[in-house]
A and B are shown apart, each in its own frame.
Chain A
Amino acid sequence: MKEAIMVKVEKLNKSFGDLHVLKDIDMTVREREVVCLIGASGSGKSTLLRCLNFLEIKNSGKIFIGGEQIEEHTHDLNQIRAKVGMVFQHFHLFPHMTVIENIMEAPVHVKKIPKDQAYEEAKELLAKVGLSDKANVYPGKLSGGQKQRVAIARSLAMKPEVMLFDEPTSALDPELVGEVLVTMKKLAQEGMTMIVVTHEMGFAREVADSVIYMHDGRIVEVGHPDQLFHTPTQKRTKDFLDSVL
């Protein structure tokens, strides 16, 4: 039985001035699915994620989240964003708050959850990302891998329906990449719906249900990782894979 559709995009177009960055993007992501987005620099991967979280506003097309079509001018985008978690390449933790305050911030001030309840939930999330001992530390004292795990916990604290990751390990020293990928795998196993922009082909192979290859603002090929990585049907996909593998 197929899962319900979590994210659906139809004929999405996005331009910055004269620069046409996303061209007629169609995509469907089902509940519990992990989708990896790959493609060369400048192909529009980040812009696509940012459109899904409404940090960028599309020019045309339709976006459905959890079966509901989202209209920028009629929906409360703050509410939508709370349902769509986002993890950034450069973490963007709040440096003036401790780790646990970072995680509690949005639940307390957006969802208005009582502080002690938010605290308990934040503790659980910290345990989940393996950082229980860092609750009262400021982000400046953490390694990159630890920062990214806190950022994941902070995002999870809003209990999002889908999580977007924009190159979550690209800013990390190689020896710190593993701990973040482990955390993400765990999330995937728990059934979180995830869209991940990544250069980690190993992760994509192991965890993704499908891989999307983007080139120059278009989706060139979509497939199961075994198929897409080994027998790409498009020449451009093959050329890209040859260049990165």
Chain B
Amino acid sequence: MDWFNKLIDTYPVFLKGMLLTFELTVVAIMIGIIIGLFFAFLKISKINILVWLSDAYIFLVRGTPLIVQIFVFYYGLTSLNMSQFMAVVLGLAFHNGAYIAEIFRGSIQSIDHGQMEAGRSLGMSVSLTYRRIILPQALRRAMPPLGNQFIIALKDSSLAAFIGMYELFNVATTFGSNTFDYLTYLLIVAVYYLVLVFLISLLARYAENRLAISD
């Protein structure tokens, strides 16, 4: 019961942390989606230098730890004088952009080439065919892995604690060290993460179904 009482007692602070965690993740994923689309198209372009650029970016992101990427934005690029929020968001966006690029590339290339041909044969330009025909279908196929990536990003946002942001994880460890009772607060924070992940899963499924009316 003690655990439950502490959960109730601390909820205003945890909710604040949860909101910050959620904001960090949502903004990062939105920027990551733009970055991802951009690099996916570079890769699909089949223009050597652009493909190479895209490969280099993905190699860089995959090959280095996220915490290093976040620290580069916050401590490394001090001349940019970034806020903590900005640094974490950009670090997460830079990181997730690479994975999202691969998700989009795969889903775009999974669309039957006949769709492009049909669009072109009706007089639609390549870009119009992408916008009206290919991307809407690709987006729907990208929904499950995107939801997955969202969940990964949410959990990764806990690294923001290491540059001193009071998101969920930091709230938990602060309570833990003040009371010498880490376990209680780690179990409490686990509940908040689970709730968030559950909500995101529902959201992703809803989005997928909304886009799935066709089949």
What distance in Å separates the Cβ of A13 from its nearest Cβ neighbour in chain B? Answer: 22
Please count the residue pairs between chain A and chain B whose beta carbons lie under 8 angstroms apart in the complex: 69
What distance in Å separates the Cβ of A137 from its nearest Cβ neighbour in chain B? Answer: 11
A86 at the interface (CB under 8 A from B): yes
A140 contacts B122, C-beta separation under 8 Å: no
Name which residue of chain A comes closest to B131, CB basis.
A109
CB < 8 Å: which of A83, A85, A97, A109 contacts B214? A97
B115 at the interface (CB under 8 A from A): yes
Interface size class of B (residues with CB under 8 A): 20 to 34
A109 contacts B112, C-beta separation under 8 Å: no
B137 at the interface (CB under 8 A from A): yes
List of B residues within 8 angstroms of A240 by Cβ = none
In the complex, what distance in Å separates the CA atom of A106 from the CA atom of B129? 10
A95 at the interface (CB under 8 A from B): yes
Given contacts A88-B114, A110-B128, contact A95 B122 (CB under 8 A): no
B128 contacts A85, C-beta separation under 8 Å: no
B140 contacts A92, C-beta separation under 8 Å: no
B132 at the interface (CB under 8 A from A): yes
In the complex, what distance in Å separates the CA atom of A85 from the CA atom of B122? 7
Contact with B along A61-96 (1 / 0, CB 8 A): 000000000000000001101111110101011111
A-B contact pairs, 19 of them (CB 8 A): A78-B120, A81-B120, A81-B123, A82-B122, A83-B123, A84-B121, A85-B121, A88-B114, A90-B114, A92-B115, A94-B133, A96-B140, A105-B122, A105-B132, A105-B133, A106-B124, A109-B124, A111-B123, A139-B214
> A interface vs B, CB < 8 Å?
53, 55, 78-79, 81-86, 88, 90, 92-97, 105-106, 109-111, 138-140, 151, 154-155, 158
